[in-house]
Amino acid sequence: MIRLFTAIAIPPDVGESLLPRQHGIEGARWRPREAFHITLRFIGDVAEDVAADLDEALMAIDAPAFDLTLAGAGYFGEGIDIHAVWAGVEDSAPLRRLQKANESAARAAELKPEARLYTPHVTLAYLKRAPVPEVGAWIQANNLLKSASFPVDRFGLYSSWQTSAGSVYRLEREYPLAG
């Protein structure tokens, strides 16, 4: 079994611009720059043959390259169950189409449909019982976040490995977008 997801990597310079925002929430597990990404489709634990079928379906995606901009900040969860803070992604029709193509590829590999509403974001920290006022203050301090626009000319299939320091991601395969 291998734990997989598809995602767009955040360019190093855009990632560097997010690092100064990583403070102000007690107990937050801030993510390293190299872990920053925009998930397109969480796959989960799959057998190697399913991963191969998924790879084949992902290779068939025909989508154009496009530009993205990070904008705003948010969180997942409620009250003491807030479990992540993130940088948002400006609304993008090409991103939505690419995400839907990834969902279709997952279904072609006979994976269950994703039930959650797609919210494109870059996770900056994972939280466990974070003080709600600190999360609110962090959101207020970062809600005007806006990155430089950056080109998206590929997406990747990543594996996720649990370590004592948190999840580590490895790029398994890249899929170019049409220029």
Q: Decide if 121 is catalytic.
A: yes
For 5-37, write each residue's pLDDT tens digit: 999 999 999 999 999 999 999 999 999 999 999
Concatenated DSSP letters of the chain: -EEEEEEEEPPHHHHHHHGGG--SSTT-EEPPGGG-EEEEEEEEEE-HHHHHHHHHHHHT---B-EEE-EEEEEEES-GGG--EEEEEE---HHHHHHHHHHHHHHHHTTPPPP-SPP--EEEEEE-SS--HHHHHHHHHHHTT-BPPPEEE-EEEEEEEEEETTEEEEEEEEEEEPB-
In percent, the amount of the chain with pLDDT more than 90 equals 93
Total domain count, the chain? 1
Share of the chain above pLDDT 70, in %: 99
pLDDT tens-digit map of 45-71: 999 999 999 999 999 999 999 999 999
pLDDT digits (tens, 9 = 90+) for 118-169: 999 999 999 999 999 999 999 999 999 999 999 999 999 999 988 877 788 9
Q: Find the domain containing 20 and state its range.
A: 2-176
User: Residue 164 has what pLDDT?
Assistant: 75
79-111 pLDDT, tens per residue?
Answer: 989 999 999 999 999 999 999 999 999 999 999
Tell me the whole-structure pTM to 2 decimals.
0.95
- Concerning whether 37 is annotated as a catalytic residue, the answer is yes
**Active-site residue (options: 17, 25, 37, 82):** 37
CATH number of the domain at 102, please: 3.90.1140.10
Q: Which of 17, 40, 105, 121 is catalytic?
A: 121
